[in-house]
Amino acid sequence: MGRLDGKVAIVTGGGSGIGRVSSELFAAEGARVVVADVSGAAAGEAAAAIAAAGGDARAVEVDVADEAGAAHMVRSAIDAYGRLDVLFANAGIFPADDGGVLDTPPDTWQRVMDVNLKGVWLSCRAAIPAMLDSGGGSIVNVASFVAIVGAATAQVAYTASKGGVLAFTRELAVEYARKNIRANSLCPGPIETPLLAELLADPARRERRLVHIPIGRFGRPEEIARAALFLASDEASFVTGSSLVVDGGITAAYVTPE
């Protein structure tokens, strides 16, 4: 018995990084998975890998910031599998020119808000009616540890968008608590993904962040995927409106060990 046996899950940003690893883990745990990604090719590759491993997956190309796209994503799940039980809203962006309050261009701010916050809202808005029809479900929205702490190496649009995800998810959880839909936020620390590698290609920039992690390393995508799996599964049946922080101790630390 897998922890998601009989369930249908959508994973946004499922074509790479945390999303791909989560898609593969959800499938290995028995879910039928809709891999949704802005890159149709990446989604297709992830779905093919799941199928090759004996799982059941469908690929959907979607811009989560587009209302029609989010609706199409959910319809694809219903058309393929007849129900929807899990939404892992993982898609997000972090542009290189997202910096301080005075430095971040307004267009960059808006683009980050459209994908990271509006995209989560639209994904949930599309998924909830299908979950109600299926008898309930679990929503896991990806926020970030930076929604809880501030940073001198600013990334103001990203931070603000992830703070919005926390607040939105709490309200969503309360609104649907008696309709058998749970909603929780997942707050990763820095994770070794292609996006992080690109952002921290400069060794000095990398070390500037690494020094603040008590465990002494960046996280791995599978560590976030396992946390998402718990929140998505019935093992978390009494968990809603919460924020699960998976950050190697960053938000707990005043200073790190020598």
DSSP letters spanning the chain: --TTTT-EEEEETTTSHHHHHHHHHHHHTT-EEEEEES-HHHHHHHHHHHHHTT-EEEEEE--TTSHHHHHHHHHHHHHHHS---EEEE------TT--STTTS-HHHHHHHHIIIIIHHHHHHHHHHHHHHHTT-EEEEEE--GGGTS--SS--HHHHHHHHHHHHHHHHHHHHHGGGTEEEEEEEE--B-SHHHHHHT-SHHHHHHHHTT-TTSS-B-HHHHHHHHHHHHSGGGTT--S-EEEESTTGGG-SS---
**Residue 186, beta-bridge partner list:** 142, 244
Of residues 81, 158, 176, 254, which has the active-site annotation? 158
> Using an 8 Å Cβ cutoff, are 117 and 185 in contact?
no
- The amino acid present at 130, given as its one-letter code, is A
158 is catalytic: yes
Q: Which candidate, 21, 57, 13, places its Cα nearest to that of 38? A: 13
How many angstroms from the chain centroid is the CA of residue 8?
A: 16
User: What is d(CA 156, CA 104) in angstroms, rounded to the nearest whole number?
Assistant: 8
Annotated catalytic residues are 158
